[in-house]
Amino acid sequence: MIKKLYTQKEINNRIKEIANELYKQYKNEEVVFICTLKGAVFFACDLLKKYKGNARIEFLRVSSYNGKNTTGKIELNLSISKDNIENKNVIIIEDIIDTGYTLKFLKEYINDMKPKSLKICTLLDKKARRKIKIEVDYTGFEIDDLFVVGYGLDYKEQYRNLPYIGVIKE
Ligand code: IMP
Ligand code: MG
């Protein structure tokens, strides 16, 4: 059974707020949004549809997770060409930040390509579980130390297609 944590409506409203905040920040400057696969794909699509500015989208794929435990070892499975990043305003879109290892890896990978600016936008943040200090610029919701699924987030590749965010109740 899945216990709902955030409904579709709550997620939508929060995304609208973030999209407006981003637009206020960037206006008509071009922004390259990097969607991290697979988890952030639902969030990125909804956010970009609500974003009124000049946007591009790129995809990155990293893996670190094994069931419910982070391995700390990050692997890059899909890369981006430097031409798409150098001298551009870049925003990494993440589904959830847990220990912070994934984001640290992503930030270093993108920073090496010399973007004009780099910001982080995450749907969920499990602050209490952070192992390394990472600055996050835009957060959908801060959550407690819970394992959540739905709206892109999986448990062993299941539940990504739920339209809401929930917690598995055993
Ligand atoms: P970190 O490297 O520990 O910050 O892990 C981040 C990644 O772990 C996220 O991008 C997710 O793919 C996965 N993850 C962390 N917590 C959860 C969760 O509660 N549900 C599903 N995936 C999670
Ligand atoms: Mg992820």
pLDDT in tens, 13-59: 999 999 999 999 999 899 999 999 999 999 999 999 999 999 999 99
Q: Where are the domains of the chain?
A: 8-144
- Going by alpha carbons, the residue nearest to atom 8 of ligand 1 is 65
Residues near 17 by Cβ (< 8 Å), separated by ≥ 6? none
Mind telling me the catalytic residues? Answer: 98
Is the pLDDT assigned to residue 79 strictly greater than 90? no
28 CA distance to ligand 1 middle (Å): 32
Distance from the CA of 156 to the center of ligand 2, in angstroms? 12
Ligand 1, residue 97: give the atom nearest the CA: 4
Query: In ligand 1, which atom is closest to the CA atom of 65?
Result: 8
Cα(51) to ligand 2 centroid in Å equals 22
Q: If 0-12 CB within 10 Å is exposed, 13-18 middle and 19+ buried, where does residue 118 land? A: buried
Q: Specify the pLDDT at position 65.
A: 60
Residue nearest to atom 20 of ligand 1 (CA): 148
Q: May I ask the CATH class of domain 8-144?
A: alpha beta
Q: How many CB atoms lie within 10 A of CB 72?
A: 10
pLDDT in the model for residue 69: 63
Which residues form ligand 1's pocket by a CB distance below 6 Å? 39, 64-65, 70, 94-103, 147-149, 153-154
Task: Please state, in angstroms and rounded to a whole number, the distance separating the CA atoms of residues 157 and 39.
Answer: 10
Question: Ligand 1: which atom is nearest the Cα of residue 104?
Answer: 2
For the stretch 87-110, pLDDT in tens is 999 999 999 999 999 999 999 999
The rounded distance, in Å, linking the Cα atoms of 97 and 114 is: 23
